Each structure stands twice: as C-alpha cells, then as structure tokens.
Amino acid sequence: MGAIGVRDAPVQQEREKCHNYQDRFSAVEAIEACNALLKGANGRAQRSDILLARGNGHYDQKNYILAERDYAASANLDPENSAVWYNLGLVSTKLGNRSASIRHYGQAITKDNKNGEAFLNRGLLFLDDGELDRAIADFTEAANLEPENATALANRGIAYVWKRDTQKALVDFQKVDAIDRSNVIVLHGRALLSLHGGNPHAAIEQLSAAIGHDPDDLWALRLRGDIYESLGDYARSQADTDRVLKINRGMTSKS
C-alpha cells in the first residue's frame, strides 16, 4: 500500500475524527468531521459508514433522536450491517421503544448470528417483559458464544429463579462465582431464592451485600425496603425508600 498523499492527509484526519475509534476526539469534533465527509461521500456503503459514525457521536451526546435518525439512514443504505441494527437496538431502548429494540436486535442477529451482545441485550428485554423462555434462550446463545460471560449466566440464573427452577439457577450462579464472586446480579438472584425459601433475613443480608457493592442499586434498595416493611421494621424500610427517592431525584436532575 502506498503512502497517503498530501491531498489525502486532511481527508484521512477527518475520517479518524469522524469514526473516533480510540476516543481521542470529542463527540462534537466527531460529528463535525462526519458532516464534512458526507459532503464528498460517494456510494451507499461509504455514506452508510459515515452516518453510523455520526450517529455514534449523537449517541455519546445523548441526542438519541438524532442518533436514531442517522442509524436508520445508515441501515437503509447498508441493511446487511449487523452493527447498525445493534446500535438501533441500543438507541430504541434509550427512547423507551422496547418492542423496536427487540426487533432491531433480532435484525442484528439475523445479519450476524455471532453477535453475542445483541443476544444478551435482547435477552434482558425479554427478562424484563417476563418472557422467561425467550430470555433463557438468548442468554444461552450469548453464553455459548462467550462461556465466561458472567452477565449472561447471571441473568439466565435470574430467569430460572422466576421459573422456580432452583437447581438450574444455582448452577448458573456457581458458574458466575468462578468468574466474579462479587457479581451483584447473583446477589439479587440469591436474595430471591431466599425469599422463595421463606428466609427474609438471609435475603436482607444478600441485598445488603449488593448495596455494599453499589450504593445506588435501586432494585436491591426497593426489595430490601419491602422486606423490612413486611417484618415490621418501618424505620429501616423508610430509610431505604428515602434513599430510592434521593437517587431518582438525582437521575432526574442529570437528564
């Protein structure tokens, strides 16, 4: 391959800024570079690639509507690109359109059945929707592609907990323990198993451990507060409720 010519150097610099693979540039710089490249872009594949990169810049700025617009335009130009469908799945979740996210992750998987992150993220959406068998299937695919994917294994364990399949849940949790003994999702799952087994005090211990790892763990705080209330410990229940409200106020002020 020959050296980059003098005339090509500015274009190469714009490409590096636009795609920003090493996060050397700000999102604003990346978007501006992509805008400049689009003016001279030829061909569907090239325009699709630039639009995908510009969408990433908008996504980093949390301008999710603009990101979705660019990702959709990129997918229209190059519908075989798994990455753009995956990104559409991400941004649709940010915009609160879960059904669209599931469809987009499905497209990403159709284009590349080794896209483990697409399986994982779709599985999480299925889990939240109570589609336990579909969630388990996606987590299994993700774990098959990456056997030490602790997130996939832990969430599959959670799905088994909700299905009351304690043995399979414990097998997955033990696999995660070998990878990451401080995994918060496993602590959540074991707390649920303790509740199902009629041991609320053990559940409190496990939820407290999760909160120790992540003081802003809303799920654990809510559940621990509910358990305290069921045990008549209203002061501790109120303390957890107050903590949840404080965290939510902080999230609202940042958004």
Residue extents of the structural domains in the chain: 10-110, 114-171, 182-255
The verdict on domain 114-171 having CATH code 3.40.50.1820 is no
Give the per-residue pLDDT at 209: 96
CATH number of 182-255: 1.25.40.10
Q: Which two tokens stand for residue 3?
A: 């050296």
CATH number of 10-110: 1.25.40.10
Q: By C-alpha distance, which of 182, 184, 249, 180 is closest to 223?
A: 184
* pLDDT tens sequence across 9-36: 677 888 999 998 888 999 999 999 999 9
* pLDDT tens sequence across 133-189: 999 999 999 999 999 999 999 999 999 999 999 999 999 999 999 999 889 999 999
Assessment of whether the complete model's pTM goes beyond 0.85: yes
